[in-house]
Amino acid sequence: MIVFEKPKSLTDAVMHYCPGCTHGIVHRLVAETIDELGIEGKTIGIAPVGCSVLAYNYFTCDMIEAAHGRAPAVATGVKRSLPDNIVFTYQGDGDLASIGMCETIHSAARGENITIIFINNAIYGMTGGQMAPTSLIGQITQTSPYGRNADTQGYPIRVCELLSELDGPAYLERVTVNSVPQVKNAKRAIKKAFQNQIDGKGFSLVEVLSSCPTNWGMTPQDALKWIDEKMIPYYPLGVFKDKEG
Amino acid sequence: MEKVLMKGNEAIAEAAIRAGCRHYFGYPITPQTEVAAYMAKRMPKIDGVFLQAESEIAAINMVYGVSATGKRVMTSSSSPGIALKTEGISYLAGADLPALIVNVQRGGPGLGGIQPSQADYFLATRGPGHGDFHVLVLAPSSVQEMADLTVRGFELAEKYRMPAMLLADGTMGQMMEPVVLPEEQKPAAKAPGWAVTGTECKRPHNIANSLYLSPAELERLNVERFERYAEVEKNEVMWEEFMMDDAEVCVVSCGITARVSRNAIIEARAMGIKAGMIRPITLWPFPKKPLLAAADKVNAFLTVELSMGQMHEDVELAIRCKKPVYMCNRVGGMIPSPDEVLNSIKKAAEEGGKAQ
């Protein structure tokens, strides 16, 4: 009896992610969701620029590679062209909350009927560990070598809280994947974000607090602990908007 | 065919709809905003999509999304807005996706002005964005051509899987003329095989992408794309000749300045000066061959343009500097008068003749 399989919606390509990176977990949760909802054939994914730039190689559905930060605009075009298809973007914090913040806010304000999976690991991973809009105060990165200083580098952005002020979004939730119960909880949220789109409820975004052991300079285990100790106190988990009430 | 009186910008919008375009994304900017306003009115009535984007950058990326699904799609803007779109245009080129981008040019650089200009000539003809690529560049000289070249732009973009740019000057956008509108076409019923439409679990996934991390693969794709561009240069050059049979001075001009030049040429002929004109309709590909052929017959060339000499450079290159190339130009939104052009034709006729 087979008790554990690779989701159908993941290709056989070997992922390029570093050991201990949680991208692989979130990819799997998205693929499981697509499988369980039976939407593989009509799903179109938009990959970002950043560590998950190659996501188009990992999902079996049709994919588009967008310019840095522009995935929500590209997704808007696709969804307006093919309203019966399921359109999701998969974006990191630099992509979604820095260079693409304008596209993020406006697609949310329009209530575009799309699903956004937002990976917040508080750092630019692909380019080698620079300060992100979500890097914490005091966090040491290549471009904040003395620790992020609020006086000169400002404060980290809480995306779910920011978007929750808008009337457009249907569903905003922040989850993490640093333990088995949290992975299960993240799966529930991601599945809801896709189901919302099927039900025509509108803009749904799930923020996933993720680890980057390589660029945080930690072991994978310490990185998972760092999410609990440092990230969650600043980025509380929970639902920030759910139009269902 | 019935003629209707229309503003150039509205003729573009109506022609696009008649060409089967049902997706338009734009952002207000003078002097092209009538395109967006027209689309906003018409698209909801014909099950089309009009969306006022949050920025020109967002608009071109929405275009990228629709184009990836295999449908006709367009955006329009004016010079400063086109600068913002160059990011997305490069991605369209890199992913081999067709789209129509309208640029109703105004004066620059910077915020410049809102009066007509042709100063985005370099931006358009050299590949508007980063990397090695071209877009088809079509330069209308009447409201009729605003409509006709809009349809042609879609067709060529799809034939060669590359973006096309309708490069009009502000005058073309704002002026009204009688126009015969193109035939109604229905949007294509079936998406092309490369389109991203959902696999329906019946085929391997399609990917719209411009990222190639292998240098050898990226080189191959660039070389193949330029082989396609060579086909475009071979097959799709458009130009119009006016009184060139016995011409001794060849005026080269497009858009509004070609209209002014036409009047000046007629006046020059009345004074016994044998002037004529080669009017490029495609600026890329540029009509190099007819210009080079003319270089063996005429004494001098004269470019008439609304830039500091951007087309001038292409004419010198095309004729391999075989003959002197004079210039009559105004910038900043100023347009040369027929008298100014006539004086330049006289000068080119006198000095160009002596240079032989």
Q: What is the domain-level CATH number for residue B322?
A: 3.40.50.920
Does one domain contain both B16 and B155? Answer: yes
Residue B263 and residue B229 in one domain: no
Among A81, A85, A102, the residue to mutate for chain B (most B Cβ within 10 A):
A81
Residue B43 is classified by DSSP as G
Structural domain range at position B22: 3-198+222-235
Tell me the pLDDT band of A244, cut-offs 50, 70 and 90.
confident
Q: Are B170 and B109 in a shared domain? A: yes
How do B23-26 and A238-242 pair as beta strands? Answer: unpaired
Cα–Cα–Cα angle for B185, B190, B195, rounded to 5 degrees: 115
pLDDT band at A157 (very low <50, low <70, confident <90, very high): very high
Length reported for chain A: 245
B116 beta partners:
B106
Contact between A78 and B58 using a beta-carbon 8 Å cutoff: no
Are B71 and B143 in contact by the 8 Å Cβ rule? The answer is no
- Domain with residue B33: its CATH number is 3.40.50.970
Is there a single domain that holds both residue B140 and residue B248?
no
| Integer Cα distance of A106 and B55 in angstroms | 10
**Residue B212 domain-assigned?**
no
CA distance linking residue B299 with residue B168, whole number of Å: 30
Decide if A77 and B63 are in contact by the 8 Å CB cutoff.
yes
Distance between terminal CA atoms of chain A? 41
Closest CA to B8 of B27, B42, B33: B33
Between A54, A62, A73, which is nearest B58 by CB? A73
Q: CB of B243 within 8 Å of any CB in chain A?
A: no
| Residue B59 domain flag | yes
Which residues on A lie below 8 Å from B68 (Cβ)?
A: 64, 74, 77-78
Q: CA–CA separation, B252 vs B305, rounded Å?
A: 9
In terms of CATH architecture, what is A23-126+158-212+219-242? 3-Layer(aba) Sandwich (3.40)
In the prediction, which pLDDT does B51 show?
98
Residue B29 inside a domain? The answer is yes
List chain B residues with CB under 8 Å of A9.
none
Instruction: Using a cut of 0.90, tell me whether the model's pTM lies above it.
Output: yes
| Adjacency order of strands within the sheet including B74-77 | B49-52, B23-26, B74-77, B99-105, B163-169, B136-138, B282-284
Task: Please tell me whether residue B283 adopts helix, strand or coil conformation.
Answer: strand
- Whether B164 and B262 map to the same domain: the answer is no
Both B55 and B151 in one domain: the answer is yes
- Substitution target in A9, A43, A68, A78 with the highest count of B β-carbons within 10 Å is A78
Among partner residues B23, B61, B207, which is closest to A67 by beta-carbon distance? Answer: B61
CB neighbours of B187 closer than 8 A, spacing ≥ 6?
B20, B21, B22, B71, B72
Q: What is the DSSP string of B227-275?
A: HHHHHHHHH---EEEES-TT-SEEEE--HHHHHHHHHHHHHHHHTT--E
Backbone angles phi, psi at A145, to 5 degrees: -65, -20
Give residues with Cβ within 8 angstroms of B39, minimum separation 6.
B13, B17, B24, B26, B48, B50
| Nearest residue in B to A75, CA atom | B65
* pLDDT at residue B355 in the model: 60
Among residues B207, B235, B263, which one ends one of the domains? B235
Q: What is the pLDDT of residue B356?
A: 54
Domain membership flag for residue B215 = no
A32-44 residue pLDDT tens? 999 999 999 999 9
Contact B198 A41 (CB under 8 A): yes
Interface ipTM above 0.90: yes
Are both B168 and B301 inside the same structural domain?
no
Task: Tell me the pLDDT tens digit for each residue of A52-87.
Answer: 999 999 999 999 999 999 999 999 999 999 999 999
CB pairs under 8 A between A and B: 131
B interface mutation test: which of A9, A34, A74 has the most B CBs within 10 A? A74
Pair B281, B193 in one domain: no
pLDDT of the residue at B311: 98
> Does A102 contact chain B (CB < 8 Å)?
yes
Q: What is the pLDDT along chain B (356 residues), one digit of tens a residue?
A: 789 999 999 999 999 999 999 999 999 999 999 999 999 999 999 999 999 999 999 999 999 999 999 999 999 999 999 999 999 999 999 999 999 999 999 999 999 999 999 999 999 999 999 999 999 999 999 999 999 999 999 999 999 999 999 999 999 999 999 999 999 999 999 999 999 999 999 999 999 999 999 999 999 999 999 999 999 999 999 999 999 999 999 999 999 999 999 999 999 999 999 999 999 999 999 999 999 999 999 999 999 999 999 999 999 999 999 999 999 999 999 999 999 999 999 999 999 867 65
Domain segments of chain A as ranges: 23-126+158-212+219-242
Chain B, window 256-315: residues with a beta carbon less than 8 angstroms from a chain A beta carbon:
none
Average predicted confidence (pLDDT) for chain A:
97
Question: Which of B209, B210, B211, B214 should one mutate to test binding to chain A, selecting the residue with the greatest count of A CBs within 10 A?
Answer: B209
CB distance A40 to A30 below 8 Å: no
A245: pLDDT confidence band, cut at 50, 70 and 90?
low
B208 shares contact with chain A (CB less than 8 Å): yes
Looking at the structure of chain B, the number of domains it has is: 2
Q: Are residues B127 and B103 in the same domain?
A: yes
User: In this complex, which of A41, A64, A102 lies closest to B65 when CB atoms are compared?
Assistant: A64
